[in-house]
Amino acid sequence: MLRVDHAVTSGTFSLDGQTFDVDNNVWVVGDDEECIVIDAPHSVDDILAVVAGRKVKAIVCTHAHDDHVRFAPALREAVVAPILLHPADRPLWELTHPQDVHGYLWDVDLADEQVITVGGEEVRVLHTPGHAPGAVCLSVPSLGAVFTGDTLFEGGPGATGRSFSDADLIVSSIRARLFALPDATVVHTGHGPDTTIGAERATLG
């Protein structure tokens, strides 16, 4: 049976010449045998503790801000699993993983409506640009859950106003893609507490 395992890791986020201390959620979705890891923030050891010896099928990055992808290559080496990222986030990825580093790229491009299978269940990719051009959310119907990265939080949309972000676009993405999900859908975010689609629909209007 599919389940969600979770931990919080601490580190920094840097962009546009500024650095902030941040706490990131680590989400691992799978069964007793295999799983996917959603984002790779701050600590490979902390992520491996949540994986707990299972086979990792993929490291799925919701977007390429450094607090979500900095440790993706090291995690790839540790678990021998591909990194998946939407190609529109290449400029952000290269800020953290420059081209002159061997093996710097991710392995598989994510695409809207792509389906990833883990534990016999489907994880559906929703392209939700705005916080970042390649931002994606991951809908898991069997769990009644969606993993939103930094696109949607308790209280509203993720941050914009930095390079490669777009305030109007993130709202459009949320309304078109996330608000198409049932109100009872649990929203597992990249930072902070869970919420629901219904609660955020009421917040955003």
At residue 205, the pLDDT reads 74
Residue range 134-160: average pLDDT? 98
Does residue 102 register a pLDDT over 80? no
At residue 99, the pLDDT reads 78
Does residue 29 register a pLDDT over 90? yes
Q: Write the DSSP symbol of residue 89.
A: G
The CATH number of the domain where 62 resides is what?
Answer: 3.60.15.10
Phi, psi (deg, nearest 5) at residue 39: 75, 160
How would you class 137 by CB atoms within 10 Å of its CB: exposed for 0-12, middle for 13-18, buried for 19 or more?
Answer: buried
Does residue 104 register a pLDDT over 80? no
How large a percentage of the chain has pLDDT more than 70?
98
Contact 193, 154 (CB under 8 A): yes
**Tens-place pLDDT, residues 41-99:** 999 999 999 999 999 999 999 999 999 999 999 999 999 999 999 999 999 999 999 87
Does residue 5 register a pLDDT over 80? yes
Residue 168 neighbours by CB distance under 10 Å: 9
Residue range 85-114: average pLDDT? 90
Q: 130, 167, 174: which is closest to 152 by C-alpha?
A: 174
Q: 177, 197, 180: which is closest to 126 by C-alpha?
A: 177
**Cα distance between the two ends of the chain:** 35
- The average confidence (pLDDT) of the chain is 97
**Tens-place pLDDT, residues 43-56:** 999 999 999 999 99
Q: What angle do CA 156, 3, 175 make, to 5 degrees?
A: 25
At residue 177, the pLDDT reads 98
In DSSP terms, 13 is beta-bridged to 20
Instruction: Tell me which residue range forms the domain holding 99.
Output: 3-204
pLDDT band with cut points at 50, 70 and 90 for residue 101 = low
Query: How many domains does the structure of the chain reveal?
Result: 1
Does residue 100 register a pLDDT over 80? no
